[in-house]
Chain A
Amino acid sequence: MATTRILEWLGRVYVWLLLAFLYLPIIIMALMSFNVSPFYQLPFEWTTEWYASLWQNDQLISATWNSIKIAVITTVICTVLGSAASLALYRYEFRGKKFLQALLFPPIAIPWLITGTAMLIFFFGVGIGRGLFAILLGHVALALPYVIVVVSARLQTFAPELEEAARSLGATQWQVTSRVTLPWIMPGVIAGGLFAFAVSFDQFVVSYFLSTPGQTTLPVEIYAAIRKGFTPEINAVSTIIIVVSMALMLLTARFFKFGGEK
């Protein structure tokens, strides 16, 4: 049928347009990081000088390391605390539980600008001030609700009889958790961890409020660099980050089929 073929063709075009919309800016940026001209001038001439000069840019490198460190620590803290909190909310009934669960959602909806201002005032008030530690605390607070929401959603599909069955077979509370419950919620924990990493690594607003000139993260540093004058080094560092994070995502997707667990 002719119409079916046209529809098929339209569908294919649509998908390609969608992918172009998503990836074209990134591809252009990646190409320009290998272009000689710092002002996006064509024709394209291959160079790796921006990558080389990146290694000389101590500020950018130190900001990158700060971002990675903070994101990793945030991920670890949020995954552990968030999963434990989800398990507690799942297993135990206590006074004010509903209220507590309801309180988990507003922080996700509150604009980061407001959260950032509030944190800045609060951290000054209690004497923590600004700096990497303040940024880390801020990121943990921002990312924790995401982990709890994702892990709790996974726990909703968990059959409580599985824990009872494990106990009836003589398993201690720790054995029940580590051998039955955790394996079941692991896809949720990994997904929650990825969320936490993304929230922290992408975080600009809160980090901007809480950073000081020497103690800053990559997004804040990139913003500062662009304001001073754009250099293709930014393209270079962005390209590296994109390649690494896409590789991580693909690896994770390969090992855990989210939502497809049997």
Chain B
Amino acid sequence: MAGVQVSNVSRSFGAHKALDDVSIDFADGGFYALLGPSGSGKTTLLRQIAGFDFPDSGRIAIGGESVERVPVEKRRIGMVFQNYALFPNMSVADNVAFGLSVRGEAKAVIAAEVQRALDLVQLGKLGSRRPHQLSGGQRQRVALARAIVTKPRVLLLDEPLGALDKALRVDMQIELKRIQREIGITTIFVTHDQEEALTMSDRIGILRDGRLVQEGPPEEIYDSPKSEFAATFLGDANILRGDTTGTGIRLPDGTAIAAGAGATLAAGAKASCAVRPERIRIATNAGSADQTNGNMLRGQVSKRIFAGNNSTYFVERDGQTLKVIVQNTGIERLAEGQDVMLSWSPESTVLIAAN
């Protein structure tokens, strides 16, 4: 087991900069998510760490040892592929045994290790099956068992749950987390699913256009995003733009918004504030609004989407649509077209430098 250090790694394909000076420190035993839209470079970064591709510049170290020019077969990593990539001509047990077998381990050792790995992923009795006889979730488990049976230094997962349906995906998220804790392996997980990143990982790295946008624990990124992109890509956010006053911003119509979190900026520059939809209170008029909240905006409900336990209100103000999520407490439901007062606290407001 070992940590992974990625330092100033760049990689171009022709004129396209797939990775641009990316540095991340993956601590030993942690569960990391690399999150980003398609084309953000997250899979390219994973392939550099795996050793399928080498960086143009920069350094990659696994357990303190430089590996950026070591090919994948010598890196002692375990990898789970998006489509599982199980060997169709081999049984489940032979699939899992492959890594030990190419290494020339003794037959008895292989058999015992394979059984242990299959037991760990709860497929102990299916060793003699062929991959095509398994369900999607079972194939996923075989792929995982195959990747960890060789005791790799780091486990790499490339959108491993993407091909599963929603219910199974949630099961596998829990399962994956359990197995990762049990063997304590450093795990790097590529996903474009923000919910998956939030629920599973200890830390998240958000990538965009080949650059690392922000890195940190899920709560930190969610509560204090450092860019509009991070705010809107990880979770939902309302973005208000204006000129900074140092402790907040002034909107074009003169309304002041106080921000209790985020960057410290010199007054006068362009800046924006991010507010999560669930942090905003919605009231029918100024009188019933919570005055202690500090930030207030008047608007008009344009649309309501009922989702059972909550409702999302789309509120128009000054040419912008704001999103507000309200828990369904059964007390009050607002009609479309109704004038409302929105309020939220400065602590829920993150000041972000204009990008």
Contacts and interface: CB of A to CB of B under 8 A. Distances in A.
Given A171-B98, A171-B99, 5 more contacts: A161-B82, A161-B83, A167-B52, A168-B73, A170-B99
Contacts of A169: 73, 78, 98-99, 102, 146-147, 150
A118 B73 CA distance: 48
Contact of A175 (B82, B102, B150): B102
Nearest to B77: A168
Interface of B: 50, 52, 71-74, 76-79, 81-83, 85-89, 98-99, 102-103, 130, 132, 146-147, 150, 156
A166 interface: yes
A170 B87 CA distance: 15
Contacts of B85: 159, 161-162, 164-165
B83 A167 contact: no
Interface string A158-195: 01011011111111100100011001100000000000
Contacts of B79: 164-165, 168
A129 B147 CA distance: 58
A262 interface: yes
Interface of A: 159, 161-162, 164-172, 175, 179-180, 183-184, 261-262
Contacts of B99: 169-171
Contacts of A168: 50, 72-73, 77-79, 147, 156
B88 A170 contact: no
A262 B83 contact: no
A167 B89 contact: no
Contacts of A183: 89
B72 A167 contact: yes
Q: Which 7 A-B pairs have the closest CB atoms?
A: A169-B99, A161-B85, A165-B85, A168-B79, A183-B89, A171-B102, A167-B73
B102 A170 contact: yes
A180 B87 contact: yes
B336 to A, nearest CB: 49
Contact of B103 (A164, A170, A179, A180): A170
Which applies to chain A's interface (DSSP): helix, strand, loop or mixed?
helix
Most buried by B among A159, A162, A167, A171: A167
Nearest to A169: B99
18 contacts: A159-B85, A161-B81, A162-B87, A164-B72, A165-B79, A167-B71, A168-B77, A169-B78, A170-B73, A170-B74, A170-B76, A170-B102, A170-B150, A171-B98, A172-B102, A175-B102, A180-B89, A184-B88
Nearest to B50: A168
A237 to B, nearest CB: 40
Nearest to A175: B102
A165 B73 CA distance: 10
Contacts of B98: 166, 169, 171, 179
A177 B97 CA distance: 17
Nearest to B149: A169
A261 B76 CA distance: 32
A171 B97 CA distance: 12
A184 B81 contact: no
Contacts of A179: 98, 102
Nearest to A182: B89
Contacts of B150: 169-170
B21 to A, nearest CB: 26
A259 B172 CA distance: 34
A83 to B, nearest CB: 16
Contacts of B146: 165, 169
B102 A164 contact: no
Contact of A171 (B73, B77, B82, B88): B73
Contacts of B52: 164, 167
Nearest to A184: B89
Could you say which of A161, A168, A172, A180 has the most chain B C-beta atoms within 10 Å of its C-beta?
A168
Nearest to B82: A161
A262 B73 contact: no
Given A170-B102, A171-B102, A262-B132, A165 B88 contact: no
B81 A165 contact: yes
A184 B81 CA distance: 19
A262 B89 CA distance: 8
A172 B147 CA distance: 16
A159 B98 CA distance: 17
A215 B102 CA distance: 48
B170 to A, nearest CB: 25
